[in-house]
């Protein structure tokens, strides 16, 4: 099947080996959940950092000795194996042979909808790679994958961390809707302050960023980053809603919304594939824009909040980003006329973009820049 879809027979053996990472990771998935429930994120971080660094070193070594694509296999299997060992070491929990149908019935409705959500969400989020790999060249797929990874960076390293800690806190305060809403708005405001300026900044400097960081051969990635950046902003907010629905026991709503989301996302990929990869990204943004409103609306309503609550905590950071964007576009046009060095333009735009954003935000928030930075650290 893999050979017929991607016209690449070598993928079969690689995917068969990588598939072993799934049962390895599933062995200690309960251990991870127990640690997250108890908010032992410091221990989880130690396990994940050690596993990531060690797996990366092993992957680089295999690549150095000529392992080729199997270096990725080594890295994947090493990470899942080391993570499983580390999680077991910290929890020391061993499942017993006891089985109860009554317990299964008690959680069946919750877990069945959650399993269905994860199934739909996984395939809808990965269908872009499949469709692009099927209808376009491997070069275009590689460029898209790299641009998408850059887009995912803030979501994986900022949003995921926040939502990971959000779920157990919301779960423990199910009956306190006022506290839950305040906590959720706090997370959304943190995202509104951090993610939009990052992605707008990357979009503005995408040309110089690709030339300096990735090299001339990846120039085609710049236009993809430009159009993926606004999608990353939307997804950073959308990805928080799952914690709300799960904490409130409304996985049925989560699953129903995932069907709506998947229909729009996969539809965007299929329609876009008839034109170009850039058109795919444009339709993907439109799909996420449509998805954004019902997902945030239902999450806010579930906690007793309203749209104006979200607008109140986000309008100042977003207005600051808009002002920063106008300034950067003006500066970029000016710098293009006085220097041909992309590294110099990149450094100037990044520095002035950061300074101007903090300045605009401090004016709107009526706080000193150092106070805003301190607030972000406290968040």
pLDDT on residue 69: 72
pLDDT band per the 50, 70, 90 thresholds, residue 352: very high
pLDDT greater than 70 at residue 58: yes
- Other CB atoms closer than 10 Å to residue 166's CB: what's the count? 21
pLDDT of 259 over the 70 cut = yes
Q: For residue 258, what pLDDT band results from cuts at 50, 70 and 90? A: very high
The reported pLDDT for the residue numbered 291 is: 95
Q: What is the mean pLDDT of residues 314-328?
A: 94
Q: Read off the pLDDT of residues 156-204 as tens digits, 9 standing for 90 and up.
A: 777 777 777 788 888 888 878 888 899 899 889 989 999 999 999 999 9
| Percent of the chain with pLDDT strictly greater than 90 | 30
Comparing CA positions, the residue from 119, 121, 115, 129 lying closest to residue 262 is: 121
Contact, 87 vs 31, CB < 8 A?
yes
Q: How far is 91 from 93, CA to CA, in rounded Å?
A: 5
CB atoms within 10 A of CB 362: 17
Predicted confidence band at 319 (pLDDT cuts at 50, 70, 90)? very high
- Enter the tokens of residue 258: 């995932």
Which of 17-31, 95-109, 248-262 ranks highest by mean pLDDT?
248-262
Q: Which long-range contacts (CB under 8 A, 24 or more apart) does 5-11 make?
A: 5/130, 5/133, 5/134, 6/133, 6/134, 10/69
Q: The whole model's pTM is what? A: 0.80
**Over 60: is that where the pLDDT of 379 sits?**
no
Cβ pair 306, 187 in contact under 8 A: no
How distant, in Å, are the alpha carbons of 19, 105, 123, 251, 375 from that of 117? 21, 19, 10, 8, 35
Q: Answer yes or no: is pLDDT of 372 > 70.
A: no
Radius of gyration of the chain (CA): 22
Residue 112 pLDDT class (50, 70, 90 cuts)? confident
Two tokens, residue 176? 């306190």
Q: What is the pLDDT of residue 348?
A: 93
User: What is the reported pLDDT for 310?
Assistant: 92
Question: Encoding tokens for residue 190?
Answer: 């943190």
């Amino acid at each position: 099947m893999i050979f017929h879809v991607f016209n690449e027979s070598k993928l079969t053996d690689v995917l068969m080996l990588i598939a072993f990472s799934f049962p390895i990771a599933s062995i200690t998935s309960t251990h991870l959940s127990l640690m997250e429930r108890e908010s032992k994120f410091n221990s989880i971080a130690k396990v994940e950092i050690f596993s990531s660094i060690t797996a990366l070193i092993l992957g680089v070594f295999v690549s150095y000795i000529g392992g080729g694509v199997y270096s990725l296999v080594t890295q994947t299997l090493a990470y899942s194996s080391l993570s499983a060992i580390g999680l077991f070491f910290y929890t020391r929990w061993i499942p017993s042979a006891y089985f109860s149908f009554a317990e299964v019935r008690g959680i069946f409705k919750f877990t069945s909808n959650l399993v269905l959500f994860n199934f739909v969400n996984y395939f809808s989020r990965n269908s872009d790679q499949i469709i692009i790999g099927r209808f376009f060249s491997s070069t275009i797929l590689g460029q898209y994958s790299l641009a998408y990874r850059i887009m995912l960076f803030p979501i994986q390293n900022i949003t995921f961390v926040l939502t990971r800690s959000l779920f157990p806190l919301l779960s423990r305060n199910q009956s306190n809707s006022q506290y839950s809403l305040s906590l959720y708005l706090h997370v959304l405001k943190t995202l509104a302050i951090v993610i939009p300026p990052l992605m707008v900044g990357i979009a503005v400097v995408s040309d110089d960023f690709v030339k300096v960081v990735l090299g001339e051969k990846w120039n085609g990635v710049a236009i993809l980053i430009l159009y993926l950046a606004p999608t990353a902003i939307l997804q950073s907010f959308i990805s928080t809603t799952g914690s709300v629905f799960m904490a409130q026991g409304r996985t049925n709503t989560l699953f129903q919304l995932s069907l709506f989301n998947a229909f729009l996302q996969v539809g965007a990929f299929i329609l876009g594939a008839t034109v170009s990869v850039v058109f795919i990204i444009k339709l993907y943004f439109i799909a996420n824009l449509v998805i954004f409103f019902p997902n945030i609306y239902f999450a806010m309503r579930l906690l007793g909040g309203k749209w104006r609550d979200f607008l109140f905590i986000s309008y100042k950071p977003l207005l600051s980003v808009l002002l920063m964007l106008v300034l950067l576009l003006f500066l970029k046009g000016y710098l293009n006329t006085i220097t041909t060095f992309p590294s110099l333009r990149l450094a100037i735009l990044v520095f002035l973009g950061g300074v101007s954003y903090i300045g605009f935000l401090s004016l709107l928030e009526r706080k000193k820049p150092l106070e805003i930075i301190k607030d972000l650290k406290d968040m």
